[in-house]
Every structure is written in structure tokens, then in C-alpha cells.
Amino acid sequence: MKLSPSARRAVGLAALSAILLAPQFSFAGGHIPGLAGKGPIGEALASDVRTADEKARDRNRQPRQTLDFFKLKTDMRVIEIMPGGGWYTKILVPVLRDQGEYIAVGGLGKAMGFGGILDQVTGLKGFEDLRIVDISGAMTKTERRGYLDVGPVDFGVQDVDLVLTFRNLHNFTSAGRYELAKGAYAALRDGGQYGVVDHTRRHMASMTDETWRRLDPVQVIKEATAAGFTLVDYSRLHYKPDDELRFEVGRKSVRGNSDRFTLVFEK
């Protein structure tokens, strides 16, 4: 959906108001994608490259609907920030292989905790020539294990159509997330979009040992818009009304049922 500048501002303000006024983050509206036909995404989901454990998570992560919401097309140039072990990589690469381009951007040094894609994906048939941009040099550790800072960063590409990151921004400081958003903005063409999915923290709640792997979506909106983006859409696809937003996402009572915000920004 293409919005005028004034309409975009209205969407952004309405989204912020909804978050601030709700007892927990829960947009009442937004894009609710229908099921796409089998097509390239369906074929990628059914591929033998994906393990049984990976396929078992489709019910919760809803990759077909999520990528439909992000309007993924086979001829796009797409960056995935911090692909980790490559769960989404195994879906995106086959979809983009013939007409588009997939680029992984991450801190791939083992010390930075994101080296899994090198071990788990690049050795697979059809993934040998995966384009990987290593930004480990811009990343520094903090006192909290798994929580990193990022300085100014260059993704080394331009004119991409779509930048995506799935449940990874919570691993970075606010300043680091801002730098990643700036890197995404610089890499995108005009009109290109930045899609974010992450675990929800209650608005204005402090980061604790229980909530550090959650994010306040208002803060993410502030960081992305400060980097130059405009908020243009959101989805309640991953909204979980029974998640209290205050426990560690890895807890047995929360794992697989965490509330996740899903936002789209545009350059």
C-alpha cells in the first residue's frame, strides 16, 4: 500500500498512540496477510534443505504469511541482518536464487555469537556461493553476554529493495540498533523497505535479566525514524494476547508463544 507523506506521518502517530495507550503492545489494525499460494515460498518451505525441526517451527513463526506481509518478490535484492543459524536464509535464498539476490549481513566472528550461518548453511547444496558481508569489525561486546554495541557500519551494497531482520535487534544496544538502521537506510534504494520482527517488551518497562531479549517497539520506531525511515505499516500477525511481556522469552511458559511486533519502514 503506497501512502502519501502526510498519510505516512498519520500512520506513524497513530501507531505510537496505540502503543502508548494500550496496556500492552497490541495494534488493533494493520496488514493481516492472507495465505499465499504455494509458489516459490511454498516450494522453499517444503525443501529437503530444511530440517524437520526447522519445519516444525513454521506453525509458530508463520514464515509464509510474514514474507507475504513484507511483500517479498522473486526479483528483489534482499539483505538479511544477523541471519544466525540461517532459519530464514534457507527460505529466502531459494526464492531469490533465479531472479533476485540474497545478501547476509552479520557479525560472523565466533566471538560475536553469529557465526552459525557459516557452519550450518554455506556447506549446503545451492548455498555455497552465499554473499556474506561481515560487520564484526563494527561490533563490540558489552558487560551483558550476548548484548552488543555497533558503531558506524557500511553494508557494502546499495540499491537493495528490502532489508529484513528477525528477532535479532534485541541483541544490540539502542545506539547499535540505530547504527544498523542507518546501515540499512544507506543500502536501500529510494522506496526500499526495512522489515523488523522482534520480541515485545512492555512500553517504558526497564530492561532486566528477564526482559533484555525483548524490545519496546516505540523505541525501535524512534531509532529507525531517527535514521531517516518512515513507519509505513505494521502487522498483528505475531501478536500473542496471553504473553504478559515480562518474562524471558526462553522460559518454558513463554517459548514459542512470545508476543512479537512486526513493523515496516520505508526509505
Domain boundaries, the chain: 5-266
Residue 122 is predicted with a pLDDT of 87
Distance in angstroms (rounded) separating the CA atoms of residues 103 and 155: 9
pLDDT band with cut points at 50, 70 and 90 for residue 244: very high
pLDDT band at residue 12, thresholds of 50, 70 and 90?
Answer: low
Interior angle at CA 162, CA 156 and CA 163, nearest 5: 60
Name the more confident of 252 and 157: 157
How large a percentage of the chain has pLDDT more than 70?
83
How far apart are the C-alpha atoms of 146 and 124, rounded to whole Å? 27
pLDDT (mean) for 152-159:
96
pLDDT tens for residues 176-218? 999 999 999 999 999 999 999 999 999 999 999 999 999 999 9
Average pLDDT of 110-127? 74
Q: Is the pLDDT of residue 30 over 90?
A: no
Residue 26: phi and psi, rounded to 5, are: -165, 100
CATH 3.30.1330.40 fits 5-266, yes or no: no
Angle value at C-alpha 172, between 246 and 62, nearest 5 degrees: 65
Would you tell me the crossing angle of helices 89-96 and 39-46 to the nearest 10 degrees? 130
Residue 157: predicted pLDDT: 96
CA-CA distance, 134 to 153, in Å (whole number)? Answer: 10
Averaged pLDDT for residues 133-159: 93
Question: How much is the CA Rg of the chain, to the nearest whole Å?
Answer: 17
State the average pLDDT for the chain: 86
pLDDT over threshold 90, residue 44 = yes
In the chain, the percentage of residues whose pLDDT exceeds 90 is 70
* pLDDT over threshold 90, residue 166: yes
Upper half-sphere CA count for residue 208 (Cβ side, 13 Å) = 12
Q: Is 63 helix (H, G, I), strand (E, B) or coil?
A: helix
Residue type, 10: A
216, three cell numbers = 519496546
Lowest mean pLDDT among 14-23, 98-107, 137-146, 247-256: 14-23
